[in-house]
Amino acid sequence: MKIAVVGTGYVGLVTGTCFAETGNEVICVDIDADKVARMRNGEVPIYEPDLDVLFERNQRQGRLQFTTNLQEAVDHAEIIFLALPTPPGEDGSADLKYILGVAKELGGMISHYTVVVDKSTVPVGTGERVHAALAEKLDESLFDVVSNPEFLREGVAVDDFLKPDRVVIGTNSDRAQEIMHRLYEPFVRSGNPIIFMDVRSAEMTKYAANSYLATRISFMNEIANLCEIAGADVDAVRRGMGSDSRIGKRFLFPGVGYGGSCFPKDVQALAHTAGQHDYDFRILTSVMAVNDRQRLRIADKLEAYFGDDLKGKTIALWGLAFKPNTDDIREAPALYTIDRLLGAGAQVRAFDPEAMDNVKAIYGDKITFCEDQYEALEGADALAIVTEWSVFRTPNFDRMKSSLNHPVIFDGRNLYDLRRMVEAGFYYDSIGRQVVGE
């Protein structure tokens, strides 16, 4: 099938590359000429495991192309995916100017029947607004608007796309439904469902799913905080809860809050949608408030340990990305930790396997970026672990202890066994578990 993907951000690039991998002819469009030139030269602009292999193969074999010319892509395509940014406004609403702007342009370009797909995460009712924007200049017989929300997890997005748990498609058109079913059929050969519904329900499904997952995270963070006060162990509680088939094991790990491009924005947008309908979605308000507090949990612990006086202290920071296996730092808890530490007069020595260039663009020389995790420890008064990269899971504890000024670790991801930390001689403060080595 002939596909155009408008926007080559995280969702657009993964979508275009994976569709090309199943034999489709894909043209990706972006207004950034420099970015398009780099992609044409084989450079993948984001870090995502396995994406580079598919990108190179499909570009080399001619199924994946890049252009700044929207008309070229429109003339080629029978399906156009809109994978454009929907940044949150000050009130939490999703900004649709990019999507609606492109939709108006498409209305003056489409000359044959085309399915226009909202791949971006958009509020309920966006499909109707995109339809109206297209219909300003285009006969309604020449297009259908479909909602096809993405459920990609950064770090495993390629696998998620090629082997989805489910595909959600919102449309009221039999013609569009048949085309979308044909497009996605190769991805669900193992029997996972393609779920068809109306457009508004598909739009709501994405927000509901992400907001529920964010709720689980915030709930477990509250349980963890209570465990610390009550003397319980959140790891034991998590295992006891997760063994209940009604609850399940996933998204029950406590930490320093959620971040990234989806959860913070989508929870805010769903709360804003509720407000537009005069509905007080109190759970979501609490979820956001809990997360705002939790992403400063490590900074709180550091200040408590050093007596609220971090001036002149040096803190080693392991992890900058909002989660492992990505270079994405959007709403990353590490950034909030850095801001708090710098504001308190501390110095920060940081390491992350992939995200340092992105953080360097924000902080410049305000913090020290290190070649590896052990260099970050040199001369530091404490270590703070914020992202659970695999390389941090089984470190050389003797080397850590000799590099740090004091054997002090604040672990926001509960990477280490408490007994092992006692044996290694560390002061170790994690999330929802007893402090050891006091």
Amino acid, res. 263: F
Please report, for residues 95, 268, 276, 297, 417, the alpha-carbon distance to residue 90 in angstroms, rounded to integers and kept in the order given.
Answer: 10, 10, 15, 25, 42
Q: How far apart are CA 218 and CA 242, in angstroms?
A: 16
Q: Give the list of residues 6+ apart from residue 151 with CB closer than 8 angstroms, or none.
A: 160, 164, 165, 166, 168, 206, 209
- How are strands ordered across the β-sheet holding 114-118? 64-67, 25-29, 2-6, 79-82, 114-118, 143-147, 167-170, 194-197
Amino acid, res. 76: H
Q: How far apart are CA 84 and CA 376, in angstroms?
A: 37
Gyration radius from the chain CA atoms: 24
Please report, for residues 368, 411, 421, the alpha-carbon distance to residue 400 in angstroms, rounded to integers and kept in the order given.
Answer: 18, 14, 12
Dihedral Cα 255, 322, 244, 220, nearest 10 deg: 30
Nearest Cα residue to 221 out of 262, 263, 251, 246: 251
Which residues are known catalytic residues?
A: 262
Q: How far apart are CA 332 and CA 313, in angstroms?
A: 23
Q: How far apart are CA 189 and CA 175, in angstroms?
A: 22
Q: Which residue has the tokens 């902080």?
A: 363
**Where does residue 149 rank: exposed (0-12), middle (13-18), buried (19+ CB within 10 A)?**
buried
Amino acid, res. 336: Y
